[in-house]
């Protein structure tokens, strides 16, 4: 069986912030790909602003590096399970994986999720223990953790014989020894392990074409672009080919453009053959999982599995009293157009019409998936409102089931009791407890996804900011009875329009936590804080102090108020109750009641209690 020895196709996987993207940058710098003058920006693979800010990879990206006359195609995969749909499809395109693990933190839940997918596809792993130069590095224990994880994930004997490279990607050094003194100023051990361990693709380019689309891209000039691997045969510009659709139908089209990958660039090419990773344009409605074959030899590959959404929210046109003040795009037509455009490339997203022309049900893979979509919209100039996230309940074999998440918590031991108690109240079940030394403990839970909505805020206060939490979708299990994940505190709701004053905020501070600063414009029905108790109360934050001409002895020397709590988008979404919306504009994130008027709210509450 002939193989294309000049090519290797690998995916790189790691937990958030373990240095995966930095490692890819370093491989690019040290390969024969980039010219010396072509300086590489730090984290060059993360092209999206949000990716750079949060240090996470959202979109799978590919790059190709040249090393000793070999083309190494590297696919950078998202670490977070919310983008798991991409991970599974990437694994189909490659012949091996590089697993990057932090030399101190070790294996993490997101690593587990992606690695499981890789092992199921029988891919060979290479382990890079990164950040070996950290004072707290514990490389031997981390390698043991990787072995334990692989055994737990049913790795076969070949997969357990993985090579280990110890590296400091940020310094551009690596070595086969776990002694930090042995680090060398080169990434050669990584390159050599790839060439030695990862199988070259089979060369069956003389057989009929099979090209499968694994990822989608879109640009205004050529429309949809299908990215994938040529599994068999050859494809040329100008070829007339057949596209086998997901529903079993076929369509004929002509290949107008082919792109190959070189460094971070996408370059036009005339021809590709078995083993190449390429992008193809020329057909409007190509979709992930569809196969391109010759018209006289239609032989589609098995359809790729796409992860179903687990969480949904309602997106609405902004109808608050401040609607239209800060955004550029505010109409239902513009919002719908933008959501439809998102569907062109995001295959795990669903957008459905509702009874109202101004509202849509948007379903995604989790809170992160949806909040990043909302964040992108506001940065592009959109104004909209969103409702509380809700989990999607599915019927499996006649049983109602809900999504469960695997939760990993690292916390100082002194806060362990309150974390366990809080998660147990949210119907979480503890699976494991490991004392990791230095007074730290690691807790593993299986918890319903709805129980985790709003948990982040509680968790940070329970652990005084010292706790670290990671959670990832695990499986659908039978629906647990009763409610969970409901907000335990009420809201402070403005009963007036106007600007918040220092005087009124001072008078309200003992009632709860304030979200607004003096001078902030407020409207009736806007949420200005969290109540200390479980009920909502209407408050006046716009009241001015009565001015009299009587001077007190200490007069108002200093009105010192506590700093308000500024809510991020994620915190705002987690805070929401069923009768509230989050108003999102390019400049502001506001929380509000669905019914703004206090009397009308009370009437509606009475009606719902009767029913």
- Strand ranges in 245-396 using DSSP code E only, listed in sequence order: 250-254, 257-262, 265-269, 271-273, 277-281, 291-294, 311-316, 350-353, 359-364, 384-387, 390-391, 394-396
> Phi, psi (5° rounding) for residue 16?
-50, 130
32 is in an annotated binding site: no
Structure tokens at 111: 């690593």
Longest dimension (CA), the chain: 99
19 is in an annotated binding site: yes
132 is in an annotated binding site: yes
Structure tokens at 320: 């608050």
Q: CA–CA separation, 323 vs 328, rounded Å?
A: 11
Rg (CA), the chain: 27
Q: CA–CA separation, 214 vs 60, rounded Å?
A: 10
Contacts of residue 414, defined as CB under 8 A and 6 or more positions apart, other chains included, come to 439
20 is in an annotated binding site: yes
Contacts of residue 530, defined as CB under 8 A and 6 or more positions apart, other chains included, come to 489, 490, 491, 492, 512, 513, 515, 565, 575
Q: Which of 554, 552, 542 is nearest to 508 (CA)?
A: 542
Angle separating helix axes 20-30 and 188-197, nearest 10 degrees: 90
Q: CA–CA separation, 373 vs 215, rounded Å?
A: 18
293 is in an annotated binding site: no
252 is in an annotated binding site: no
Residue 77's alpha-carbon distances to 56, 82, 115, 451, 534, in angstroms, are 10, 12, 11, 28, 42
133 is in an annotated binding site: yes
Q: H helices within 153-207, ranges in order?
A: 157-160, 188-197
Q: Are 575 and 493 in contact (CB under 8 A)?
A: no
17 is in an annotated binding site: yes
Q: CA–CA separation, 323 vs 342, rounded Å?
A: 24
Residue 506's alpha-carbon distances to 500, 559, 561, in angstroms, are 11, 8, 6
Q: Are 109 and 408 in contact (CB under 8 A)?
A: yes
22 is in an annotated binding site: yes
How many Cβ atoms are within 10 Å of 306's Cβ, its own excluded?
Answer: 16
By CB atoms closer than 10 A (0-12, 13-18, 19+), residue 587 is exposed
- DSSP summary character for residue 595: S
Summarize the chain as % helix, strand, coil (round to 5). 25, 35, 40
Q: Are 27 and 74 in contact (CB under 8 A)?
A: yes
Q: Are 132 and 178 in contact (CB under 8 A)?
A: yes
Q: Which of 284, 257, 279 is nearest to 270 (CA)?
A: 257
Q: CA–CA separation, 367 vs 569, rounded Å?
A: 11
3-state SS class at 212: strand
* Cα 444–chain centre separation: 21
Burial string for 232-252 (b: 16+ CB within 10 Å, else e) reads bbbbebebebbbbbeeeeeee
Q: Which of 225, 231, 179, 243 is nearest to 201 (CA)?
A: 231
Annotated binding site: 17-22, 130-133
**Binding-site residues from annotation for GTP:** 17-22, 130-133
């Amino acid at each position: 069986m002939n193989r294309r020895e000049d090519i290797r196709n690998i995916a790189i996987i790691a937990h958030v912030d373990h240095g995966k993207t930095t490692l890819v940058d370093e491989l690019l710098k040290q390969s024969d790909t980039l010219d010396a003058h072509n300086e590489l920006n730090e984290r060059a693979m993360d092209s999206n602003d949000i990716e750079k800010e949060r240090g996470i990879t959202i979109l799978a990206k590919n790059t190709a590096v040249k090393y000793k006359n070999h083309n190494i195609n590297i696919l950078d995969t998202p670490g977070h399970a919310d983008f798991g749909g991409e991970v599974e499809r990437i694994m189909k395109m490659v012949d091996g994986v590089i697993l990057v693990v932090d030399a101190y933190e070790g294996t993490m839940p997101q690593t587990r999720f992606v690695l499981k997918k890789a092992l199921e596809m029988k891919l060979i792993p290479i382990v890079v223990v990164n950040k070996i130069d950290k004072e707290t590095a514990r490389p031997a224990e981390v390698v043991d953790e990787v072995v334990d994880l692989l055994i737990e994930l049913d790795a076969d004997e070949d997969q357990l014989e993985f090579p280990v490279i110890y590296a400091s990607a940020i310094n551009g050094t690596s070595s086969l020894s776990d002694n930090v003194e042995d680090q060398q100023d080169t990434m050669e051990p990584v390159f050599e392990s790839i060439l030695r361990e990862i199988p070259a693709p089979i060369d069956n380019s003389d057989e009929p074409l099979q090209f499968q689309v694994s990822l989608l891209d879109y640009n205004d000039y050529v429309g949809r672009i299908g990215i994938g691997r040529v599994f068999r045969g050859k494809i040329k510009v100008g070829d007339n080919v057949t596209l086998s659709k997901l529903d079993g139908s076929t369509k004929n089209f002509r290949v107008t453009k082919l792109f190959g990958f070189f460094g971070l660039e996408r370059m036009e090419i005339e021809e590709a053959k078995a083993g190449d990773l390429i992008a193809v344009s020329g057909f409007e409605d190509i979709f992930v999982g569809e196969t391109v074959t010759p018209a006289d030899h239609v032989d589609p590959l098995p359809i790729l599995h796409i992860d179903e959404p687990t969480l949904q929210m309602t997106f609405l046109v902004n109808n608050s009293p401040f609607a239209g003040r800060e955004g550029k795009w505010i109409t239902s037509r513009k919002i719908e157009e933008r959501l439809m455009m998102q569907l062109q490339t995001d295959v795990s997203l669903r957008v459905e019409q509702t009874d109202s022309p101004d509202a849509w049900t948007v379903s995604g893979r989790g809170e992160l998936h949806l909040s990043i979509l909302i964040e992108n919209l506001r940065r592009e100039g959109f104004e909209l409102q969103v409702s509380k996230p809700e989990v999607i309940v599915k019927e499996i074999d006649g049983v109602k089931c809900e999504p469960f998440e695997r939760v990993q918590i690292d916390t100082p031991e002194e806060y362990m009791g309150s974390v366990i108690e809080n998660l147990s109240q949210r119907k979480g079940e503890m699976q494991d407890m490991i004392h990791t030394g230095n007074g730290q403990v690691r807790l593993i839970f299986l918890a319903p996804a709805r129980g985790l909505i709003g948990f982040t805020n509680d968790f940070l206060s329970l652990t005084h900011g010292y706790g670290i939490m990671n959670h990832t979708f695990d499986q659908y299990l039978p629906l647990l009875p009763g409610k969970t994940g409901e907000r335990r505190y009420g809201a402070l709701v403005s009963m007036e329009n106007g600007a918040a004053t220092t005087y009124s905020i001072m008078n309200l501070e003992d009632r709860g936590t304030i979200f607004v600063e003096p001078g902030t414009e407020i409207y009736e029905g806007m949420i200005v804080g969290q109540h200390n108790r479980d009920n909502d109360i209407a408050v006046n934050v716009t009241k001015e102090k009565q001015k009299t001409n009587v001077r007190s002895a200490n007069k108002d020397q200093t009105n010192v108020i506590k700093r308000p709590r500024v809510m991020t988008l994620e915190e705002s979404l987690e805070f929401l109750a069923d009768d509230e919306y989050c108003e999102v504009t390019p400049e502001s994130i506001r929380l509000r009641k669905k019914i703004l008027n206090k009397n009308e709210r009370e009437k509606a509450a009475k009606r719902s209690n009767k029913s």
